[in-house]
């Protein structure tokens, strides 16, 4: 009996080792996205509200010239600490087409908090025409769709930060196509978007440092929030759920022991 | 058979409609082997997951719009604006994975302990039918958010049916409701995705009815011989199931609240675009082993047939494994082949995840494209590479080869190894009864004596 269990344990061990090798195996990537630390990671992760707010400013002042965010409304900004008046002001800074009115005509009016972020282009064709044929993707879910795969994959924020800080001079001999830009972290290293951010490109309302690194991190945090505005509620509910389940499980474990003591 | 109830209302109802007697008999007194291990928890866990999926699914359907122009955004609306919509959706999408985990463990447990053997063949076959229905339901559910992977997954899988000679193309047109994956496809998938869970529920009821005919199998694989071998289901197994469910729900909660998209594909956060094909189209993890079998055979029709056969072989399992001993605990040779099968299924899952032409470098913990291997070996073309290669000191196995070896073992296990083991294996002596086995395992030290293997066979 003993001998057999040693053999079985050995097999189980070998299986486990190979399984770990499997799980650890990562596809060889052309580019390696550096992993950063973010306030919203981990079991207790929360957004840094000031950072997300600054990130919105980066989006508004720079990104929104080309990138839409069709899943976001101005009212959502209340969640990251903008006051009602500030939101009304931000919304009113754009003109949107509404209607038809009673006369059957479309009309222009100032934006309202319930409006979605005004897109920079009327349609895909207009966006491509203005951008050398390339389509600037919608940014609402960019942090989620560009995340690394699997449990240990990099965050979408890591990817955004890497791209924004990855503009370099192309290495000697690199064939850069017309109208393209070299980026260390973009697949194939050729990206249609010209370098959008640089040191001092945005002057933050709260006077925070505005190097390229700061701006990139802030906008990456903002886009992570926009990708999952309920992240904090998820973490908090999760902690409550786990706490409840631990008590539930221990209770039933105790009852199980008690009930089964008659059998054993 | 009617029980006596104290409450006069219950007595009145039960006299006319004996539901309470039935429950008393089938859920309370129901005699169950006293030696069931925790591997027997997964049936009730799977039942619980079915309930969770139906409950969350009904509420999600209230907010979902099955239209190609609105499906993606309606799901995002659930995630953002519907109260606790994010939780419903995460519970549902991770619930599918948890359901499959529970069911896969349940199936492997059935294979190991011979739970499919006489007189439980029909119980087993009904179970395999549930698995098939689950696969269809999960596949159609994955299409509903209408992301890139939803769309292209649907395209690839439905296209498989075109491999069937003569009627293949007509079947595909029927599935699509047109000549491409489009709005009619989404509509019929939504309709069926709502219908099939209730069909599963019905088949589960039949599964439980068939189970209660002879009762649960147990780790010794020998039948209950009298009252000393059994205990009433309640309270013994109700509390044990609840404890196991608690542990499982903790595992479930971890994924839902702290890694809700780790089991999915980031590409599904991009709205479906028929004009742009993702680089790698991969199904969800629970389909990967079958996908690997499909891709390990280059010919489309043969690949589709092999994939179908990998499930079909389970239906005839009771007639492939004819060993009179049910439990793997008393089958030393079977045990080794069984664990190899579990391992091989893990390999298939791994192989299904990566493009077939790629190489796995086990010592370097990485997967590389064939061009990389060719460059390492200073070869002009990837065609000169061997499936198992030592290119430039890098030991690598091509993914397709890995999948092929695993596929061969998968079918050999069922079609060759099990029938041969039934004839040649020398099994260990069985304990005289379940209660004897329980006493021995608790250090009673009673000499084991042999019992006839399968009395009711």
Residue appearing with tokens 């966006």: A127
Best mutation site among B218, B246, B338 for testing chain A: the one with the most A CBs within 10 Å?
B246
Asked whether the beta carbons of B306 and B407 are under 8 A apart, the reply is: yes
Q: What is the pLDDT of residue B319?
A: 97
Q: What is the pLDDT of residue B448?
A: 45
Q: What is the pLDDT of residue A13?
A: 74
Cβ-Cβ contacts under 8 Å, B265 against chain A: 149
Q: What is the pLDDT of residue B378?
A: 83
Lowest mean pLDDT among A15-19, A204-208, B321-325: A15-19
Residue appearing with tokens 């008690």: A258
3-state secondary structure of A22: helix
C-alpha–C-alpha distance, residues A119 and A73, integer Å: 11
3-state secondary structure of A167: strand
Structure tokens at A169: 């001079």
Least CB–CB distance from A19: residue in B76, B346, B354: B346
3-class secondary structure for A41-106?
Answer: CCCCCCCCHHHHHHHHHHHHHCHHHCCCCCCCEHHHHHHHCCCHHHHHHHHHCCEEEECCCCCCCC
C-alpha–C-alpha distance, residues A5 and B326, integer Å: 20
Please name the fold of domain A30-72+116-228: Cytochrome Bc1 Complex; Chain D, domain 2 (1.10.760)
DSSP per position, B389-447: E-GGG--EEEHHHHHHHHHHHHHHIIIIIHHHHHHH--PPPPPSSHHHHHHHHTT--PP
Residue A152 — pLDDT band, cuts 50, 70, 90? Answer: confident
Cβ-Cβ contacts under 8 Å, B76 against chain A: 71, 140-141
Q: Which DSSP symbol is given to B141? A: H
Domain ranges of chain B: 1-28
Please tell me which residue in B44, B216, B310, B435 is annotated as part of the active site.
Answer: B216
Question: How far off is chain B from A77, nearest CA to CA, in Å?
Answer: 13
- Say whether B284 is catalytic: yes
Per-residue pLDDT at A5 exceeds 70:
no
State which residue of chain A sits closest to B237, comparing Cα positions. A256
3-state helix, strand, coil in chain B (%, to 5): 65, 5, 30
- Say whether B456 is catalytic: no
- Mean per-residue pLDDT pooled into runs of 10, chain B (457 residues): 81 94 92 95 98 98 98 98 97 98 97 96 98 98 98 96 94 96 97 98 98 95 92 95 98 97 95 94 95 95 96 98 96 94 92 91 86 84 84 87 96 97 94 84 52 52
Query: Are B367 and A28 within 8 A, CB to CB?
Result: yes
Cβ-Cβ contacts under 8 Å, B259 against chain A: 151
Asked whether the beta carbons of B144 and B71 are under 8 A apart, the reply is: yes
Asked whether the beta carbons of B13 and B20 are under 8 A apart, the reply is: yes
Mean pLDDT throughout A159-171? 96
Please, which residues have CB within 8 angstroms of residue B417's CB and are 6 or more apart in sequence? B337
3-state secondary structure of B317: helix
Query: Are A141 and B269 within 8 A, CB to CB?
Result: yes
Mean pLDDT throughout A115-138? 95
Question: How far off is chain B from A132, nearest CA to CA, in Å?
Answer: 19
Pure H helices in B144-182: 148-160, 168-176
Q: Which residues in B88-101 are b (16+ Cβ under 10 Å) and which e?
A: bbbbbbbbbbbbbb
C-alpha–C-alpha distance, residues A225 and A140, integer Å: 9
pLDDT in tens, A20-42: 767 667 777 778 899 999 999 99
By CB neighbour count within 10 A (0-12 exposed, 13-18 middle, 19+ buried), where does B150 fall? buried
Greater pLDDT, A174 or B380? A174
Asked whether the beta carbons of A215 and A202 are under 8 A apart, the reply is: yes
C-alpha–C-alpha distance, residues B374 and B351, integer Å: 20
Mean pLDDT throughout A242-260? 97
**What count of Cα atoms within 13 Å lies in the side-chain half-sphere of residue B251?**
14
Structure tokens at B202: 């019905």
Q: What is the pLDDT of residue B457?
A: 40
Provide ipTM, 2 decimals. 0.92
Cβ-Cβ contacts under 8 Å, B266 against chain A: 144-149, 153, 156
C-alpha–C-alpha distance, residues B262 and B264, integer Å: 6
C-alpha–C-alpha distance, residues B223 and B229, integer Å: 9
- Say whether B321 is catalytic: no
C-alpha–C-alpha distance, residues A15 and A11, integer Å: 6
Q: Which DSSP symbol is given to A193? A: S
* Residues composing chain B: 457
Torsion B435-B440-B446-B448 (CA) sign: positive
C-alpha–C-alpha distance, residues B303 and B305, integer Å: 5
Mean pLDDT throughout A1-29? 67
Asked whether the beta carbons of B408 and B417 are under 8 A apart, the reply is: no
Please tell me which residue in B241, B265, B267, B321 is annotated as part of the active site.
Answer: B241
CA trace torsion B323, B327, B328, B332 (10° rounding): -70
Q: Which DSSP symbol is given to B218? A: -
Torsion A23-A29-A34-A37 (CA) sign: negative
Q: What is the pLDDT of residue B456?
A: 46
Residue appearing with tokens 């197994």: B237
State which residue of chain B sits closest to A139, comparing Cα positions. B270
* Residues composing chain A: 264
Query: Are A242 and B253 within 8 A, CB to CB?
Result: yes
State which residue of chain A sits closest to B77, comparing Cα positions. A71
Query: Are A241 and B73 within 8 A, CB to CB?
Result: no
Q: What is the pLDDT of residue B452?
A: 58
């Amino acid at each position: 009996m003993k001998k057999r269990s040693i053999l079985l344990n050995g097999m189980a061990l070998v299986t486990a080792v190979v399984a770990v090798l499997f799980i650890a195996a990562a596809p060889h990537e052309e580019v390696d996205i550096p992993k950063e630390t973010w306030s919203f990671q981990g079991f207790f992760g929360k957004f840094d509200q000031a950072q997300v707010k600054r990130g919105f400013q980066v989006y508004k002042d720079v990104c929104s010239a080309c990138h839409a965010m069709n899943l976001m409304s101005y009212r959502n900004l209340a969640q990251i600490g903008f006051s009602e008046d500030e939101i009304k002001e931000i919304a009113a800074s754009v003109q949107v087409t509404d209607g038809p009115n009673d006369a059957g005509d479309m009309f222009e009016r100032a934006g309202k908090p319930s409006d979605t972020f005004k897109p920079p282009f009327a349609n895909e064709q207009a966006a491509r025409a203005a951008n050398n044929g390339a389509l600037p993707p919608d940014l609402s879910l960019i942090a989620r769709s560009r995340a690394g795969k699997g449990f240990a994959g990099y965050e979408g924020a890591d990817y955004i930060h890497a791209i924004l800080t990855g503009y370099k001079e192309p290495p000697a001999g690199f064939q850069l196509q017309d109208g393209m830009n070299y980026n260390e972290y973009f697949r194939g290293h050729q990206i249609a978007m010209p370098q959008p951010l640089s040191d001092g490109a945005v002057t933050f309302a709260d006077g925070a440092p505005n190097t390229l690194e700061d701006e990139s991190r802030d906008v990456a945090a903002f886009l992570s929030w926009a990708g999952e505005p309920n992240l904090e509620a998820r973490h908090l509910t999760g902690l409550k759920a786990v706490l409840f389940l631990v008590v539930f499980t221990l209770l039933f474990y105790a009852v199980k022991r008690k009930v089964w003591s008659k059998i054993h | 058979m009617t029980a006596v109830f104290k409450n006069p209302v219950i007595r009145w109802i039960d006299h006319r409609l004996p539901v309470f007697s039935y429950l008393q008999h089938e859920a309370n007194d129901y005699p169950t082997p006293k030696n069931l291990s925790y591997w027997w928890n997964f049936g009730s866990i799977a039942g619980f997951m079915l309930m969770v999926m139906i409950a969350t699914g009904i509420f999600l359907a209230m907010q979902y719009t099955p239209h190609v122009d609105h499906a993606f955004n309606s799901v995002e609306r659930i995630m953002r604006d519907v109260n606790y919509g994010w939780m419903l959706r995460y519970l549902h999408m991770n619930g599918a994975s948890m359901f499959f985990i529970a069911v896969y463990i349940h199936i492997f447990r059935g294979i190991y302990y011979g739970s499919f053997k006489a007189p439980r063949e029909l119980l087993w076959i009904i179970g395999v039918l549930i698995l098939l229905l689950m696969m269809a339901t999960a596949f159609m559910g994955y299409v509903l958010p209408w992301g890139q992977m939803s769309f292209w997954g649907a395209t690839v899988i439905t296209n498989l049916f075109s491999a069937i000679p003569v009627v293949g193309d007509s079947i595909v047109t029927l599935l699509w409701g047109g000549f491409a994956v489009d709005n009619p496809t989404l509509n019929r998938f939504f309709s069926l995705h709502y219908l099939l869970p209730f069909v599963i529920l019905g088949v589960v009821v039949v599964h439980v009815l068939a189970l209660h005919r002879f009762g649960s199998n147990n780790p010794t694989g020998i039948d209950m011989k009298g009252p000393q071998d059994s205990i009433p289901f309640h309270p013994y197994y109700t509390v044990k199931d609840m404890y196991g469910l608690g542990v499982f729900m903790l595992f479930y909660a971890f994924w839902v609240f702290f890694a809700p998209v780790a089991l999915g594909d980031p590409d599904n956060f991009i709205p479906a675009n028929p004009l742009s094909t993702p680089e790698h189209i991969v199904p969800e993890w629970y389909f990967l082993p079958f996908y690997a079998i499909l891709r390990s055979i280059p010919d489309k029709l043969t690949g589709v047939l092999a994939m179908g056969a990998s499930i079909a072989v389970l239906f005839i399992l009771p007639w492939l494994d004819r060993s009179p001993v049910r439990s793997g605990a008393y089958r030393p040779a079977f045990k080794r082949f069984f664990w190899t099968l579990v391992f091989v299924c893990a390999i298939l899952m791994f192989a299904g995840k990566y493009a077939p032409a790629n190489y796995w470098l086990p010592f370097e913990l990485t997967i590389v494209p064939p061009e990389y291997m060719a460059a390492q070996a200073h070869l002009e073309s990837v065609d000169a590479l061997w499936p198992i290669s030592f290119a430039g000191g890098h030991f690598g196995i091509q993914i397709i080869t890995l999948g092929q070896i695993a596929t061969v073992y998968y079918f050999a296990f069922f079609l060759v190894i099990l029938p041969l083991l039934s004839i040649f294996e020398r099994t260990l002596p069985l304990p005289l009864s379940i209660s004897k086995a329980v006493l021995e395992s608790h250090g009673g030290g009673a000499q084991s004596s042999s019992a006839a293997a399968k009395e009711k066979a």
